[in-house]
Amino acid sequence: MSRYPKWGDFCEVFGINPRNRVIEFFLECRELEFGIGDVARETGLNRATAYIVMAVLVKKRYLMPTRKSSGAQLYKLNIEKREVRLLIKAFDLLLSKIVEEEMQKHDKTKHGKTRKIPAV
């Protein structure tokens, strides 16, 4: 699931910082549960930073602990929190915009007007 760069359009809009990188990761995988080690690896944060950010997000109830797996605490988005639902809407709007832009690029390429060659 790793990608480069370690953030997407959500962070580009709301700011590239550890908190937003963690929030963006959970928004991308909103139904899944992750441990802090997974979050650190997938966001490119070191474990200490991931622990600090996750503790703040749990305290503010953006994330909630769910269960333990092999001794590791797992977390997921707290979709009951109003602010989280608003972040989900914002994320989905950004995703819709990206899809729309890609469809327009595809249509232009398909109809021979312009052709964009992807960078390698």
Mean per-residue pLDDT, 58-79: 96
The pTM (predicted TM-score) of the whole model is: 0.78
Mean per-residue pLDDT, 109-120: 58
Q: Name the residue with higher pLDDT: 6 or 38.
A: 38
Give the C-alpha distances (Å, rounded to integers) separating 98 from 19, 101, 116: 22, 5, 16
Domain chopping of the chain, boundaries: 9-110
Give 5's pLDDT tier (boundaries 50, 70, 90): low
Give 54's pLDDT tier (boundaries 50, 70, 90): very high
CATH topology classification for 9-110: Arc Repressor Mutant, subunit A (1.10.10)
Is residue 68 pLDDT above 70, yes or no? Answer: yes
| Alpha carbon distance 48, 40 (integer Å) | 9
Cα-to-chain-centroid distance, residue 38: 13
